Structure 1
Amino acid sequence: MNAITMTTNTATGTRGWRASIADVPVLALGALLAVAIATGNASVTAAGAALSALSLLVTIVVLAFSRRQLRADPRSASFARLATGLAIATVLMGLAADALLLAAAWIVSGRLMAGLIGHVGEWSEARDAARRANIAFTVGDIALVVAVGSLASIAGSTDIAAIKAALPAMPALETTVAAFLLVIAALARCAIPPFSNWLMRSLAAPTPVSALMHAGFVNAGGFLLIQFAPVLEASLNARYALFATGIVAALVGSAIMLVRADIKGSLAASTVGQMGFMLLTVALGAYPAALWHMIAHGLFKAWLFLGSAGTISSAPTRAKGLSQPWPALIALATIIGGIALIQTEQAHALLPVCLALTALLSALAVALRALPRGPLGAAVALAPIVLIAINAAALAFMTAVQPGAAQPLISPYGQIAILSLFLAGWVWQQRIVSGQQALPPALFARMIHAGNALTSSTNANAKD
């Protein structure tokens, strides 16, 4: 074999894997995970299992995708190491039974993601994106370390189960401070305003990195708050603050998504909005719905990012929204379904369940609108119905393995009122994206400026 053949094999990834000094940190992380499991410092919870499974599945898919997409990138081996290390750190975080071990895995995953964001090291935008990500992650890391450190000090143990058991005897002030610190840590990781800047600037990273963020990283804030749910439930003020910031993020992300012309920028803004929905679901105490949101959104958004590099087309642009009367009918059906849901025992999850129902009914309406004739048409119409059934079954399963909060944050009828506001905004949004109505020029300009402020100098056409 000559030198040229060896070089080609290296570039295409066909040469067999050989351990090197650069692999030591990843191997050390794997060893730490094995030791944690062997010594009983790992435990399986519903939230931890969901986070770990999501991380492993998406990472495997992304690594397979990047093997071809980054085949000409001289840093492809470094990407694979960082991605593998991130998956191990995320699994360690999900299975950790010790609060300090969880915090350590949380910090390590943040540094690995910052390294992935700065993958194109000679590009100033990538270096700036990595720097800003490190700043946001550091704020969240400090908040988490102080929170678990104070809780462990009061409880006299770093074991998460022991901390939860000691909560009723803890002073209210310390518990409230810890709850707010946990919320700050979750907001920073989930890219909720004012921490959205790091996610929008991460568009400077290759497409596989954007997909990898949804492998239990950007959505890990929901896991953290569910894992320490008793701490959050001990402070109503912290839950109200989380709920308010979740609503703001949902509105801001959805608004910026409307005016972004680039695919990756639109998807990133959508993630901000979806993370807002996930965290407001946690604030309501609907933990099963939040867990399923974490999994479903992570899988779907990773898939969208992996396909974003192939979306350029010369075909005429079709309206993406539903024309009237579909949005109004779906909104009415959702409200009726919400009122019916009040009669069940799951009314505390009314808002997230009804918003999910809206999305699924929209998918069904889109399928019916584009319904072809023959067997294919039946399959197209059946797909959204099957999707609705799968989501209902998954939510029922999550409810069986993950209990919700003992005390709902907002009454069912209060959630109906908030749902009505969201649906009114959604109907208006559908009029805009379907081309039936244009945004007022002043509002459009403000939303463009808001989106630009989050990305600043980052090139919208980031390296794919």
Structure 2
Amino acid sequence: MNPTTMTAPATKRGLALRLKPADWPVFALGSLLAATIATGHAMVTTPGVALSGLGILIAVVVLAFSRRQLRADRRSDSFTRLATSLAIATVLLGLTADAMLLAAAWIVSGRLMAGLIGHVGEWSEARDAARRATIAFTIGDVALIGAVTLLSIAAGSSDIVAIRSVAVGSSSLLTTAAAFLLVIAALARCAIPPFSNWLMRSLAAPTPVSALMHAGFVNAGGFLLIQFAPVLEASPHARYALFATGVVAALVGSAIMLVRADVKGSLAASTIAQMGFMLLTVALGAYAAALWHMVAHGLFKAWLFLGSAGTISTRPTRSKGLAQPWPALIALATIVGAIFLIEARRADALLPVCLALTALLSAMAVASRSLPRGPLGAVVALMPGALIALNAAVLVLMTALQPDAAQPLLSPYGQLGILSLFLTGWVWQQRIVSGEQALPPSLFARLLHAGNALTTSTPVSTTVIAKD
């Protein structure tokens, strides 16, 4: 037997392993992305690069994490294929120059995520979560298809650049209807009420799936609205509706966080709140701030979810809330900063910028409670300040790359009023988190019931549990 004969079977087996039928959809999707780029049907935009880069980075990190986390799972290969396909679909979604192809990538990514949510197929909870996700995604898909169809008819082309140019200054019925349909599609993808149910029930999925979902997948709604920003700007009513739902989501998500005892459930409620903040920022026309929020939230939430895997603790944890007078002082400093921005005529994105400032000042105050002594303590003390500087620099860069709306939705003083309401609620929330004040029993029961209505998971007293 010659060497060629001996190696032939091994070569055939290697090809067979590399070309499994289950891998064909992944290769097909990759080929479609390559063909889109090669034929000039791709374009580079700031929101597209942000979404694509975030999707690739999160996918790489999660796949590396899943090699250990899912090493004993007999479906680990299926997870790898679906996660890889989702990353490819996300890049296609972010880079395509054709609205019809964007809609196709949107639909495919939704079906892939539904498959990932139902990863543990023998669990009734996982099957129910996948079913509810499919229903919510289908509503968003139909809305997006309708929007793309109307916009293509109005522009006479499905090219996104042509659609955006025609939509500028347009007040036609087609553009208005398309704007509302785009809002519905974004709400479904971002799990904004009344579409929050699918996200909360997805806790039955493994931790790597949750990281992919909360860190990357849900952000596509913000990308969609920024990509079609001229359409949204042409319909003030659609912007007001988006702003109102964003405010509701931020309040509902923040409230449910207070009564969730499980780690992943609390993080899921946090995602609802954060998506609400992102979409209200888009509605205000502060696209640069919304994009930076999308990227920063994605990276931070991926870290939180991957760190939550297998967390079990029955010991009371140290409160992360700030005791008085710190919350009140931070709120006062934020209001003073907001007034300064108004006087300096730099207040177009007043609400999101000041909320980000509040979050960073809070992080600085929390970190200062446990600073080690010596040089290390000094370095740690400087980190929040460095984060503030980094956020300011990135926001300036984002503003240069992604112009905000020509006409803000609310005046600076209108944003100041809403900021004051948010800060009042935040100060009250800090009193509860720090243990200085308890939620009224009736309100606690209502929030607990609302949280349980959104998910099959039931909080267990005060024990902190995260299911993988």
CA-to-aligned-CA distance 1:219-253 (integer Å, 9 cap, x gap): 11000000000000000000000000000000000
Whole-Å Cα distance in 2 between the matches of residues 256 and 414 of structure 1? Answer: 27
Match in the other structure for 1:187? 187
Match in the other structure for 1:320? 320
Whole-Å Cα distance in 1 between the matches of residues 466 and 433 of structure 2? Answer: 25
Match in the other structure for 1:3? none
Whole-Å Cα distance in 2 between the matches of residues 344 and 43 of structure 1? Answer: 36
CA-to-aligned-CA distance 1:167-215 (integer Å, 9 cap, x gap): 2585621111100000000000000000000000000000000000134
Residues 114-193 of structure 1 aligned to structure 2 (within 5 Å): 114-168=114-168, 172-193=172-193
Match in the other structure for 2:442? 442
Does the Cα contact within 8 Å between 2:364 and 2:384 map onto a contact in 1? yes
Does the Cα contact within 8 Å between 2:281 and 2:290 map onto a contact in 1? yes
The 10-residue stretch of structure 1 (315-324 or 235-244) with the greater mean CA deviation from structure 2:
315-324
Residues 427-438 of structure 1 aligned to structure 2 (within 5 Å): 427-438=427-438
Whole-Å Cα distance in 2 between the matches of residues 459 and 81 of structure 1? Answer: 33
CA-to-aligned-CA distance 1:321-344 (integer Å, 9 cap, x gap): 000000000000000011111134
Match in the other structure for 2:406? 406
Match in the other structure for 1:256? 256
Does the Cα contact within 8 Å between 1:203 and 1:462 map onto a contact in 2? no
3-state SS of 1:259 partner = coil
CA-to-aligned-CA distance 1:30-79 (integer Å, 9 cap, x gap): 00000000111100000000000000001100000000000000000000
3-state SS of 2:318 partner = coil
CA-to-aligned-CA distance 1:408-439 (integer Å, 9 cap, x gap): 00000110010000000000000000000000
The CA RMSD over aligned residues, in Å, is: 1.5
- Note the C-alpha offset of 1:311: 3.3
1:162–1:364 distance in 2 versus 1, CA, 3 Å: same
Does residue 62 (structure 1) correspond to residue 62 (structure 2)? The answer is yes
Q: How many residues align?
A: 449
Does the Cα contact within 8 Å between 2:215 and 2:297 map onto a contact in 1? no
1:379–1:129 distance in 2 versus 1, CA, 3 Å: same
Output the amino acid matched with 1:101: L
Does the Cα contact within 8 Å between 1:125 and 1:459 map onto a contact in 2? no
Does the Cα contact within 8 Å between 1:79 and 1:119 map onto a contact in 2? yes
1:146–1:293 distance in 2 versus 1, CA, 3 Å: same
Match in the other structure for 1:387? 387
Match in the other structure for 1:93? 93
Match in the other structure for 1:219? 219
CA-to-aligned-CA distance 1:285-309 (integer Å, 9 cap, x gap): 0000000000000000011000012
CA-to-aligned-CA distance 1:325-378 (integer Å, 9 cap, x gap): 000000000000111111345311000000000000001101111122111211
Match in the other structure for 2:367? 367
TM-score (norm: length of structure 1):
0.94
Whole-Å Cα distance in 2 between the matches of residues 299 and 213 of structure 1? Answer: 12
1:260–1:78 distance in 2 versus 1, CA, 3 Å: same
Match in the other structure for 1:25? 25
- Note the C-alpha offset of 1:459: 8.9
Does the Cα contact within 8 Å between 1:164 and 1:231 map onto a contact in 2? yes
Match in the other structure for 1:13? none
Whole-Å Cα distance in 2 between the matches of residues 345 and 90 of structure 1? Answer: 37
- Note the C-alpha offset of 1:133: 0.1
- Note the C-alpha offset of 1:398: 0.4
Does the Cα contact within 8 Å between 2:82 and 2:112 map onto a contact in 1? yes
Whole-Å Cα distance in 1 between the matches of residues 34 and 258 of structure 2? Answer: 45
The 10-residue stretch of structure 1 (385-394 or 353-362) with the greater mean CA deviation from structure 2:
385-394
Output the amino acid matched with 1:66: S
Whole-Å Cα distance in 1 between the matches of residues 261 and 30 of structure 2? Answer: 41
Whole-Å Cα distance in 2 between the matches of residues 235 and 317 of structure 1? Answer: 48
Whole-Å Cα distance in 1 between the matches of residues 418 and 79 of structure 2? Answer: 43
Tell me which stretches of 4 or more aligned residues in structure 1 moved more than 4 Å. Answer: 168-171, 457-463
Does the Cα contact within 8 Å between 1:56 and 1:215 map onto a contact in 2? no
Whole-Å Cα distance in 1 between the matches of residues 386 and 457 of structure 2? Answer: 43
The 10-residue stretch of structure 1 (453-462 or 226-235) with the greater mean CA deviation from structure 2:
453-462
The runs of 5 or more residues in structure 1 that have no matched partner are 1-15
Match in the other structure for 2:9? none
The runs of 5 or more residues in structure 2 that have no matched partner are 1-15
Does residue 246 (structure 1) correspond to residue 221 (structure 2)? The answer is no
Match in the other structure for 2:304? 304
Output the amino acid matched with 1:405: A
Whole-Å Cα distance in 1 between the matches of residues 302 and 169 of structure 2? Answer: 42
Does the Cα contact within 8 Å between 2:249 and 2:276 map onto a contact in 1? yes
1:77–1:117 distance in 2 versus 1, CA, 3 Å: same
Percent identity reads 79
- Note the C-alpha offset of 1:453: 0.6
Does the Cα contact within 8 Å between 1:125 and 1:458 map onto a contact in 2? no
Does the Cα contact within 8 Å between 1:319 and 1:434 map onto a contact in 2? yes
Does the Cα contact within 8 Å between 2:41 and 2:98 map onto a contact in 1? yes
Whole-Å Cα distance in 1 between the matches of residues 459 and 158 of structure 2? Answer: 44
Whole-Å Cα distance in 2 between the matches of residues 214 and 268 of structure 1? Answer: 8
Output the amino acid matched with 2:351: L
Whole-Å Cα distance in 1 between the matches of residues 49 and 99 of structure 2? Answer: 17
Whole-Å Cα distance in 2 between the matches of residues 458 and 105 of structure 1? Answer: 35
Output the amino acid matched with 2:23: D
Match in the other structure for 1:44? 44
Match in the other structure for 2:271? 271
1:78–1:42 distance in 2 versus 1, CA, 3 Å: same
Whole-Å Cα distance in 2 between the matches of residues 171 and 371 of structure 1? Answer: 56
3-state SS of 2:408 partner = coil
- Note the C-alpha offset of 1:320: 1.6
3-state SS of 2:268 partner = helix
3-state SS of 1:219 partner = helix
Match in the other structure for 1:102? 102
3-state SS of 2:343 partner = coil
Output the amino acid matched with 1:68: R
Output the amino acid matched with 1:416: L
Does the Cα contact within 8 Å between 1:211 and 1:301 map onto a contact in 2? yes
Does the Cα contact within 8 Å between 1:214 and 1:299 map onto a contact in 2? no
Whole-Å Cα distance in 1 between the matches of residues 319 and 170 of structure 2? Answer: 56
- Note the C-alpha offset of 1:382: 1.2
Output the amino acid matched with 2:147: A
Whole-Å Cα distance in 2 between the matches of residues 73 and 345 of structure 1? Answer: 56
Output the amino acid matched with 2:149: G
Whole-Å Cα distance in 1 between the matches of residues 88 and 315 of structure 2? Answer: 42
